[in-house]
A and B are shown apart, each in its own frame.
Chain A
Amino acid sequence: MPKYVMVIDVERCIGCMACVIACKKENGVADGYFRTRVVEEVRGEFPNLRMELRSELCNHCENAPCIDACPTRASHRAKDGTVQIDKKKCIGCKACILACPYDARYSTPEGVADKCTFCEHRLKEGRKPACVETCLGKSRIFGDLDDPNSEVSQLLKKHEATVRLEFAGTSPRVFYINKKFAGGL
């Protein structure tokens, strides 16, 4: 089983939002809904302000509370290690949406739960997620952490990375690199 992770080099994001749109287009996400977002966070006292542009999406957590909450096994861990939703099995009880500490999920107009899939369909073809492929600043980097030669492995060896809400104990697979910004996440 590969260990697909996404590394987000926060300093390289230019805030073009191409990833947000590419994801919507690639996955046919309904109007008014999003699977990924970009948070613009400004901190400090004028004139000492610092801004972080931070992409957020489903973390494909290793200890995923959304999977535990699901009564039908619609939310499950797929063979490739990512967290996926089987829409046929989803009863739309919304327990997983409440269980996710990252607000990564939403309810589609059809009444089933939905979220980022790491572009599962593309991974099968050996391609990268749409948001990663479209990222102008190369802020989103994707790969297999079990492969020591992959770009993500190299990056995470070189830099100290953080995850969102580490204390929640979910062991996210989306890592953030940001050397200058204290706070956030």
Chain B
Amino acid sequence: MMIELSITGTNAITFPHLEVWDWRIVFYLFLGGLSAGILVMCSIANLRIPKQPVEELAQCVRAPLIAFIVLAVGALFIILDLGSPLHLVWGYLTFQPLSLMSWGTWGVPAVLFANALYILAVIPKEQRHRLKLPLLIKLSEKLALRMRPIAKLNFALGIFLGIYTGVLLSSFAAIPLWNNATLPILFLVSALSSGAAMVVIIAKKAEIKFLFTKIDIWLIVAELVVIALFFYGLYTSTAPYKKAIAPFFSLTSEHFIFTLALIAIFLLLPLALRIKLGELKEFEDGLHAEFTKAQIFRMNFAAILVIAGTLILRAAIVYAGQLTKLSAY
């Protein structure tokens, strides 16, 4: 049967498909996830050894600072996307439990605050003088004694930050590609994986690099499995959901870019996985305090592949999602 539509009175922002969230949101989702992952991973590093004097406990000292900067830049991107950022004050005069946007409005500053405490708590003694302000130095001394609970708090908030963006997208029942429960898990796992990759890049200690290489192997495997489940779940669902994954599997249409994105993800992540498995083998006979240049290059390269995969994944899902609708047009 033929169906022909002509519509008088359409808005360009919604027809022929939604063009509501663009690259700014992609960067926000990416940077938010990356920051979440870094926070969780450095908390793991700092909480790992239970019985050590608090002062020597912090293993990962630059990561919280990097997480803070990454999230602050991410938040800037979302503010850039707001049509009326000056009205934001209204967001802080209320909390709407059903609105994931509201969770973000309150959640991001809360994470930044806890993150700032973490930065102060892990500053090594000999570096504290760089804080300049006597008040901050004192605060840092005090917080250092509470490093463990602060790390635990940041771990929890990192998980919150990593999963909430996925829940945000999945809460839109009008957008079939997003509206499913696998998406928050996918976002969380890929955020954690990119965080682990980032810690591998910035860590100086051989022991920390190796620990997070091992962690990232599991996270990449989990991510690949969840991506497959994500597509399979939509494929076996009802018509609008089945249709939603079409852009990812069309070689001829204008949506070829999404197929490319999918291929890229499935190339980058397994490649990173292979490199990481290679590293694992190499260090089987015990860790050396020093890495060779080639080893460092390989680790960083695999980590960059993982981070690029995370960005591509988010961009593809944000854009392809907006091509999908519950209605027929």
A interface vs B, CB < 8 Å? 17, 20, 32-34, 36-46, 49, 65, 68-74, 88-95, 97-103, 105-108, 110-113, 164-165, 168-169, 183
Contacts and interface: CB of A to CB of B under 8 A. Distances in A.
A99 B325 CA distance: 11
B221 to A, nearest CB: 32
Contacts of A17: 8-9
Contacts of A100: 174
Given A94-B21, A98-B172, A107 B8 contact: no
Given A20-B9, A40-B7, A112 B84 contact: yes
Nearest to A170: B173
Most buried by A among B3, B12, B87, B326: B87
A41 B174 contact: no
Given A37-B9, A92-B83, 7 more contacts: A33-B11, A37-B7, A39-B5, A39-B7, A90-B83, A91-B87, A106-B14
B90 interface: yes
Contacts of A33: 11
A183 B322 CA distance: 24
Interface residues of B, number: 47
A55 to B, nearest CB: 9
Contacts of B105: 71
Contacts of B3: 41-43, 183
19 contacts: A39-B7, A44-B2, A65-B172, A68-B96, A71-B91, A71-B94, A72-B102, A74-B90, A91-B85, A92-B82, A93-B82, A93-B101, A97-B18, A99-B172, A103-B14, A110-B84, A112-B83, A165-B326, A183-B3
Contacts of A70: 96, 99, 101
A167 to B, nearest CB: 8
A106 B3 CA distance: 26
A73 B94 contact: yes
Interface of B: 1-15, 18, 20-21, 81-85, 87-88, 90-91, 93-94, 96, 98-102, 104-105, 171-175, 322, 325-327, 329
Contacts of A168: 173-174, 326
In the A-B complex, the 6 residue pairs with the smallest Cβ-Cβ separation, listed nearest first, are: A92-B83, A111-B83, A37-B9, A71-B101, A34-B9, A71-B102
B92 to A, nearest CB: 9
Nearest to A89: B90
Main secondary structure on A side of the interface with B: loop
A68 B94 contact: no
Contacts of B84: 90-92, 110-112
Contact of B83 (A68, A71, A107): A107
A69 B99 CA distance: 4
A26 to B, nearest CB: 14
Contacts of B21: 94, 98
Given A90-B84, A91-B82, A165-B326, A71 B8 contact: no
Contacts of B325: 101, 103
A129 to B, nearest CB: 15
Contacts of A37: 7-10
Nearest to A88: B87
Contact of A73 (B9, B10, B96): B96
A32 B174 CA distance: 24
Nearest to B4: A42
B89 to A, nearest CB: 9
Contact of B173 (A65, A73, A90, A107): A65
Given A69-B172, A70-B101, A111-B84, A38 B8 contact: yes
A99 B82 CA distance: 16
Given A43-B3, A110-B84, A20 B8 contact: yes
B2 A42 contact: yes
Given A74-B90, A91-B83, A38 B101 contact: no
Contacts of B7: 37-40
Nearest to A164: B327
Contact of B96 (A49, A71, A108, A169): A71
